Amino acid sequence: MIKYLSRMGRQTLTLFTYLGGLSTLGLETIFCIFIPPIKKERIFEQAKQIGLDSLFIVSLVAFFTGMILALQTAYLMKKLSSEIYIASIIALSLTRELGPVLTALIVAGRSGAAITAEIGTMTVTEQVDALKTLATNPVKYLVVPRFIALTLMLPILTIYADLIGIYGGYIIGVNRLSISPSMYLATTFDTLVNKDIITGLIKAVFFGMIISLVACYEGLNVEGGAEGVGKSTTKSVVTTFIFIIVADCFFTALFYFFF
């Protein structure tokens, strides 16, 4: 029992230490954003790598997610003779939950891992120490462009994923369930309200912050050479996934039970 409590205590302390480190990095990042100069070319470069280069995989996942949702809901809706409501279910599911969450998980697995590996390699090869020697703030130089790019690009990718997912459901609804195109589109857009779209975008903004901070934090705290980079990259992805799911649960409860 004592060993169990001792282990739980150590894990709790480790968790709070980790959260403290993330919070400190987040505050320093936000502070550095308002200190000129802002290197726009570095932000655009990161935005391209995070956003434009992720379009294909986001399109693929969102499109087939919309199709799968349509096929799965059609099984029950046919029994209830309510096939027309498939459009509403897909639109709400994507804009509220699946769009921002799936997009965030894809970007975390692709771009978050790349960020951790890149910064981690710079850390173990002492390039980060070299920046400090040259009186360059590593947070300003490395973290801020990625933080801004992820915070801006994830909502844009989420909107794109929502549209592609709705189109995937449209393909199934029109071609397999004999729903007229005009009826499907009318049901989709009549169901959606501003709250559904806005809450999904707010989630995406915070998911982008989470991905950038966790990825950069793990990269800046790599230890143990090349092996340490691999471990930090894996830890970054797993930790980001957990934080995204927890944050999604929190925001869902906040938006739909308190507002």
For residue range 97-140, what is the model confidence (pLDDT) as tens digits?
A: 999 999 999 999 999 999 999 999 998 888 888 888 888 888 99
pLDDT of amino acid 177: 79
pLDDT average, residue stretch 222-246: 90
How far apart are alpha carbons 140 and 23 in whole angstroms? 16
- Cβ atoms 209, 108 nearer than 8 A: no
168-209: pLDDT as tens digits: 999 988 888 778 888 888 888 888 888 888 999 999 999 999
Give the dihedral sign, CA 3/9/15/17: negative
pLDDT of amino acid 259: 65
pLDDT of amino acid 30: 92
Per the prediction, the chain carries an average pLDDT of 88
Residues 6+ apart with CB under 8 A from 59: 160, 161, 164
pLDDT average, residue stretch 80-100: 86
CA distances from 241 to 47, 104, 117 (A): 21, 9, 17
**In this model, does residue 3 exceed pLDDT 90?**
no
**In this model, does residue 240 exceed pLDDT 90?**
yes
pLDDT of amino acid 167: 93
% of residues, the chain, pLDDT over 90 = 46
